[in-house]
Amino acid sequence: MSRPSHRDTILTSGLRVVHEHGFNGASVRDIVQAAGVPHGSFTNHFPSKEAFVLEVIDLYLAEARLNLRDTLCNDDLAPMHRLRKYVDANIRHISLNDSRNGCLFGNFAVEASDSSEAIRLRIVEIFAEVEKCVDYCLMAAVSVGELRADTNCQELASFIVTSLQGAYLMAKARRDPTPVLNFKEMLFSRVLR
């Protein structure tokens, strides 16, 4: 009889650990301890911590893609409602754990970009994917008259994603979601008026 694989347990537990403690702050020992598996299980499934983190990023992305699908890319909703719903979902997410965790993608962009080119490039790809979804939503807003026809949707999408990531970092530093709430207020009352 073969032994059960601990791969999924390591990934889900490891996601929580690296989200709470960061790339450098989370050791393999912390990850296997949280998963309740022997250290050898980690090395059986992942050739390196970098390889593990790349899979954790994809696991986190799968959840993020559900949010993107249900909000920004949801053609059943009015475009500005989609964008508001997307920001609100992110506010709920950032508010967990006293805003200590931030966004995993932003955290890795700051912390792991210098130590891993593979992680840096993956994060860049993910931010481009998110920007594409924001751009899609904004173009829909233009087409239905919710935004001016001369709106540069691609530039605005980049601004929104960049600003939201900055607000996440400030929320994490302050341990308070207020910077993200302030971003939402400015976005909808000033930028998108």
How does DSSP assign 87-123, residue by residue? Answer: HHHHHHHHHGGGGTS--HHHHHHHHTTTT-HHHHHHH
Largest CA distance in the chain: 65
Residue 77 and residue 120 in one domain: yes
Residue 39 and residue 75 in one domain: no
38 lies in which domain range? 1-46
Residue 81 and residue 165 in one domain: yes
Please, how many CA atoms are within 13 Å of residue 121, restricted to the half-sphere of its CB?
4
pLDDT at 3 (0 to 100): 56
CATH number at residue 97: 1.10.357.10
Q: Which residue, of 9, 24, 46, is where some domain finishes?
A: 46
Query: Would you say 31 and 42 are in contact if contact means Cβ atoms under 8 Å apart?
Result: yes
Residue 60 and residue 149 in one domain: yes
How many domains in the chain?
2
Instruction: Report the distance separating Cα 18 and Cα 20, nearest Å.
Output: 5
Question: Looking at residues 7-26, what average pLDDT do you find?
Answer: 93
pLDDT at residue 10 above 60? yes
pLDDT at residue 79 above 60? yes
Residue 41 and residue 79 in one domain: no
pLDDT at residue 186 above 80? yes
pLDDT at residue 9 above 90? yes
- Looking at every residue in the chain, the average pLDDT score rounds to 94
Q: For residue range 122-169, what is the model confidence (pLDDT) as tens digits? A: 999 999 999 999 999 999 999 999 999 999 999 999 999 999 999 999
Residue 19 and residue 89 in one domain: no
